[in-house]
Amino acid sequence: MVSQVNGDDIRRCVVFDGRKLITFLTVFALPVFLSSCAGPSGGDPVLQAKKALERCDPFMGDWRGGWKLNDESDSGPLVAQVMVLGKGEYKAVLLAEFDTRHEPVAVLDGRRERRVVRFAGRTALGGAEIEIQGVIEGNRFAGGFKGDEVGSFSMDKVIRLSPTLGAEPPPGAIVLFDGKEFSQWEHTPKKPGAGSVKWKRVGGGAMEIKPGTGSIVTKRKFADFKLHLEFRTPFRPDQRGQARGNSGLYLRGRYEVQILDSYGLEGLDNECGGIYKVGAPLVNMCSPPMQWQTYDVTFSGPRFDSGGAKTQEASVTIVHNGVTIHDKREIPNPTGGALDDKVAEPGGIYLQDHGNRVQFRNIWLVEL
């Protein structure tokens, strides 16, 4: 599961980066509304995290707390994922718990009014219609509901990061990118002038897609492997669907695991963690944009008999931000955008340029 921290004090926040706890001052109390919070970062991890929060929307992200009836006869847990939709619009998805695939308790529409966001919506619970209203102010998301029962809810901001964030490559691992250079990579042959990588190295040991320069692939090819990769999507609140922080991780250059800002969405096969037209993730584990995320992938290629007949499909297990989202999922054929269809052969690790400035870092692989 992801690591998490309660936001009891709006001016302090604790982040776990996989190696140590970092405490830093945040600016949740100072609303900063930018068209994009993608930008250079690096150096001191405290400053890196602080800059990301300063550049993003202070209302966006995860919230945790509970609800109770006014007569105190019943109560329970409640969490929320708050998405930014641009032009002062927000959406809050209320859930019973994180990291599971269940229908939302309710989905609320929100509108920013200076330093607060006001939410409202309706839902049906137990056959009765419930009206819900809430407000985010500072570091508290609180409100009430009424219908057959009357009650209230309250949630605090939490930051939940992957437990494998910053994981170090084990002995024998092949380091594909450590933030220093692109010697393991080249542009794909499908791009005219393929060769030296034209993506940018940015602060914090990361690389960033330079839109229009083309996708990149490792020079080395692999058969079966374990792969660790960290990524973050840009903050594009005015965009929707496939225009919202799109890229892709192709295993052996043929099987795509989607990378997309799908925070707060259902979790489909064309959203973050999905295998395109093969399978949706077991649960949508996508983090808010501009928050570093992890894929830990175990891949096994297809098997063939001596006559060339396939005896076993390619399969993959994917752990996204510490939670298994595909468990030995079979992939019968290459997905869209594959470099080739030579499924019996090893292939490279292929990162897609889909026109968005997605960032990657700490990429390493262990051959099996």
pLDDT in tens, 112-155: 999 999 999 999 877 789 999 999 999 899 999 999 889 999 99
Position 354 pLDDT exceeds 60: yes
Closest CA to 230 of 300, 316, 161, 317: 161
Which uninterrupted H or E stretch holds 118? strand 116-125
Does residue 348 surpass a pLDDT of 60?
Answer: yes
pLDDT in tens, 193-207: 566 899 999 988 999
Which CATH class for the 174-367 domain?
mainly beta
Report whether pLDDT(334) > 90.
yes
Q: How far apart are CA 301 and CA 255, in angstroms?
A: 10
Tokens of 280: 């949706």
What integer pLDDT is reported at residue 282 of this predicted model? 98
CA–CA dist 131, 330 (Å, integer): 43
**Of 35, 90, 21, which is closest to residue 60 (Cα–Cα)?**
90
Domain boundaries, the chain: 1-161, 174-367
Give the fold, CATH level 3, of 1-161.
Lipocalin (2.40.128)
Both tokens of 123, joined, read 């839902």
pLDDT digits (tens, 9 = 90+) for 221-237: 999 999 999 999 999 99
Which one, of 152, 4, 121, 135, lies nearest residue 59 by Cα?
135
